[in-house]
Amino acid sequence: MAALLRIVALLAYFVVAHRALRVDSPRLAALALGLLAIIVFIRGLLSLRPRAWLAALAWITAAWALAGSSYAMPVLLLMPSLFLALACSLFARTLARGQAPLVVRMVALIEGQPAPALPADIRAYATRVTWLWAVVLGGLSLLNLGLALLTTPGGVLERLGIAPPWPLSPEVAATVDTWGIYVPVAATLVGEFVYRQRRFPGRYDGPLDYLRKLARIPREKWAGIFH
């Protein structure tokens, strides 16, 4: 139930956020920001955890307060960069000394064995892939932040009354956003899998076999590797 509601809220967020940007509506921007509280805290809300309810109410209250201000649109424009930064942190924080890198945990989960029991070459490769995703997502977060700040008209700096030092037209920003963000993510996913197939032949019988292995793992176990 939580996963389904999160997907519905996520789709609603994208629809409302797109409409808010299209019609330049602070109220719709605030509504989109409020939907993020459901996406983030849905499990705690369904479990009736007081901390989750208090955090969600505080989030929604802050979003509602933004609805009557000039800051709702700038905050909404910064959300994609924040999402990418959070995704980067999921990988980067597991690279600290004494922790198992995130991709090492993923491989251990797929293989059904503890991370220390994985062969040394696989652990080393998975560690490098963790670094790769941390760098890629961190770079994309900075790129998206730059686009949000510098786009004219409608960018964050302009909305805050600051002249962008290197203004970008919406058309240029949209092109860079498409080719500079989505393409690198897809290329990294596909390129890493193809290289992995050559580096460790025989571990998966192609992409479909790999996806089947992923699908067999319970959702709760996936959630556990991020703690």
Write down the domain spans for the chain. 1-69, 73-227
User: Model pTM?
Assistant: 0.81
| Mean pLDDT computed over every residue of the chain | 84
- The separation between CA 58 and the C-alpha centre of its own chain, rounded to angstroms, equals 22
Burial class (CB in 10 A: 0-12, 13-18, 19+), 209: exposed
Residue 21 and residue 78 in contact, taking contact as beta carbons nearer than 8 Å: no
Terminal-to-terminal C-alpha distance of the chain: 21
Residue 94 per-residue DSSP state: G
What's the token pair of residue 13? Answer: 């967020």
Separation between Cα atoms, residue 114 and residue 34, nearest integer Å: 39
What's the token pair of residue 22? Answer: 């299209």
3-state secondary structure of 69: coil
Q: What is the mean pLDDT of residues 108-113?
A: 82
Residue predicted with more confidence, 184 or 115: 184
pLDDT in tens, 183-219: 888 889 888 888 888 888 777 776 777 777 777 777 7
What's the token pair of residue 141? Answer: 């977060």
- The separation between CA 179 and the C-alpha centre of its own chain, rounded to angstroms, equals 17
Residue 168's beta-bridge partner residues? 151
Q: Residue 1 pLDDT more than 80?
A: no
* Ordered DSSP codes for 97-119: TTS--HHHHHHHHHHTS-GGGS-
Q: Predicted confidence band at 142 (pLDDT cuts at 50, 70, 90)?
A: very high
Q: Residue 222 pLDDT more than 80?
A: no
- The separation between CA 56 and the C-alpha centre of its own chain, rounded to angstroms, equals 19
